Structure 1
């Protein structure tokens, strides 16, 4: 898969995962890996970008006598995810055009 396409999709996968529930890094890697390959070294820069853009917020919870960072989607993140879902129909139209062209060769 094209690296730029994958990068964009991963951001939306992170937001979608957080729509289900707040989560921490390792758990998100496990959840997202069922759908697209991701590592912790890929996830954390995405989470920083999402936090910097206001789509994700962070809080900590004590777990086994250590603080664990949890990520939570914000209303801005929810709006971003909603826009992606709405705009994806355009992507599907482009995909169908490309697929038809390739299959007709």
Structure 2
């Protein structure tokens, strides 16, 4: 009998974080030739890309700090009306319902 992986949706968030970081980094290198691309924006893009890589790694490796970064990201996602709010609400309900915090070291 197949066993259901309760952490699969949370791990998918981690993979999505890494994918978002990769896309942002790829776009960064594509836009390096643009004159409108200021140094401040370059730093911002690299910091955001690094944050996504770090958050994704923490969630996939089931680290305690990764769980807290995920929760912080979901709280920020509340402000992305209406789709982000819906995703954050559903994810918080899933985390609470399945006691996901217990799976993180």
TM-score w.r.t. length of structure 1: 0.28
- The structure that is strand-richer by fraction is 1
